[in-house]
Amino acid sequence: MTAIRRIAHLDMDAFFASVELLRFPQLKGLPVVIGGGRRRADELLRERFTGLPLSEIPPDAFPVLKDYVGRGVITTATYPARQFGVGSAMGMMKAARLCPQAIVLPVDFEEVRRFSRLFKGTIAEIAPVIEDRGIDEVYVDFTEVPSGQLEGGRVLARRIQQAIFERTGLTCSIGVAPNKLIAKMASEFDKPNGISVVYPEDVQARIWPLPVRKINGIGPKAEAKLAKLHLHAIGDIAAQERGWLIDNFGQAYGGWMHDAAWGRDERPVVTYSEPVSMSRETTFERDLHAVRDRAELGAIFTHLCEQVAGDLRRKGYVGKTIGIKLRFEDFRTATRDHTIPDFTSDPAMIRRIAGQCLKRVDLSRRLRLLGVRVGKLAKAETAQAATGGGESASAHRVAEPAPGERTLDLF
């Protein structure tokens, strides 16, 4: 008997905020947002409360949103803060109006990454087929795992949830479904600390009523276009002829949308391999024109290069191929790249080469998305030895990129 495909999507609850609450358990149950300044809140508080353990600093000593000065956006918010309507990507000023008493803490990236490794390692001990989807989420293939089929996967999901909590003190939510597409939606059904199991026959009842944006791959632009066509729920898409969707959205995207709405998705869970490229991209709030919006576009471009450079450095990689990706207002996509003789993770170098690539594209149409990618990666220390070490053996050990491209998904 072949096992029924059971795929889980696991996503940590209010991840950056929950990591802070491990340090400050006295804030549990209170509205807390992550955002703003770089200085660690505990350093500032420690100055005021010398000698007192961090967990004993009174909650009313913490900085709150109403006293926050500066622009910035919220990175995430605890569930109690979300009850006030505060959430990711919201401006701090707006959040301060909605929930002035919310405590504001800066993100501690090192700590967040440590817990990211910890929770993923915990899962790996129980179910080895894991696809890393960013800082706080993974897909896990339950199909062949002993007990992976019990109660549609719920038993194994519960075990993983418990193991993560015991190891880290953090909660997560898990969706188990016949494929990645539905599992991703299902992990949100019962957040925080929930488990949702969706069976193939549930698609109509549980997936079709959801707004189209819940499909991972339908963004704000596609949503707007669908709304103009009077399609708001996933079931509205499912009710359309495939050919009609293709006429309106193109062969690939229209066809994919039809499959997605019917809950069809055969993508495998891809286990970890060395990254062969790292990239950052952004979809603009409004379409931008290369000439008329030159300054804005230039700033975004530079920022993307800096972000990719930062990702490379944090993860200890350098690369040789620098590329760009553009998506135009008509959804057409263009890519260009250029390979340089020496490995780099230098933001200025990446910016310069990416800028040259940009010159090779016709920019008369407006842009909806811009991306920067660095490929032909090697571990920084290996590449350094290779360039600086003359005939050293390590020159021949520069990592070859793994077959098939894998882009790091960076929140």
| Residue 203 tokens, joined | 């698609």
Residue 370 binds: one of ligand TTP, Mg ion, none (C-beta under 5 to 8 A by kind): none
Of 58 and 169, CB closest to Mg ion: 169
By CB under 6 A, is residue 192 in contact with ligand TTP? yes
Q: To the nearest whole angstrom, how small is the minimum distance from the Cβ of residue 136 to ligand TTP?
A: 4
Sign of the four-CA dihedral 343, 349, 352, 354? positive
By CB under 6 A, is residue 13 in contact with ligand TTP? yes
Residue 407 binds: one of Mg ion, ligand TTP, none (C-beta under 5 to 8 A by kind): none
Is residue 223 within 8 Å of 236, Cβ to Cβ?
A: no
Interface residue with ligand TTP among 26, 40, 42, 88 (CB under 6 A) is 88
Q: To the nearest whole angstrom, how small is the minimum distance from the Cβ of residue 88 to ligand TTP?
A: 4
- The answer on whether 60 is annotated among ligand-binding residues is no
Residue 192 binds: one of ligand TTP, Mg ion, none (C-beta under 5 to 8 A by kind): ligand TTP
Size of the site for Mg ion (CB under 5 A): 5
| Residue 192 tokens, joined | 């925080």
Residue 200 binds: one of Mg ion, ligand TTP, none (C-beta under 5 to 8 A by kind): none
Identify which of 92, 94, 32, 38 has the alpha carbon closest to the alpha carbon of residue 68: 92
- Which residues are designated catalytic? 137
Identify which of 33, 9, 10 has the alpha carbon closest to the alpha carbon of residue 21: 33
The kind and range of the H/E element at 323 are strand 317-328
Q: DSSP letter string over 164-217?
A: HHHHHS--EEEEEESSHHHHHHHTTTT-SS-EEE--GGGIIIIITTSBGGGSTT
Piece of the chain touching ligand TTP by CB under 6 A; list 11-19, 150-158, 211-219, 295-303: 11-19
Q: How many residues does the chain have?
A: 411
Q: To the nearest whole angstrom, how small is the minimum distance from the Cβ of residue 92 to ligand TTP?
A: 14
The whole-angstrom separation of Cα 302 and Cα 330 is 24
By CB under 6 A, is residue 10 in contact with ligand TTP? no
Binding residues for Mg(2+): 11, 136
Residues in contact with ligand TTP by the rule CB under 6 A: 11-16, 75-76, 88-89, 135-136, 191-192, 411
Binding residues: 11, 136
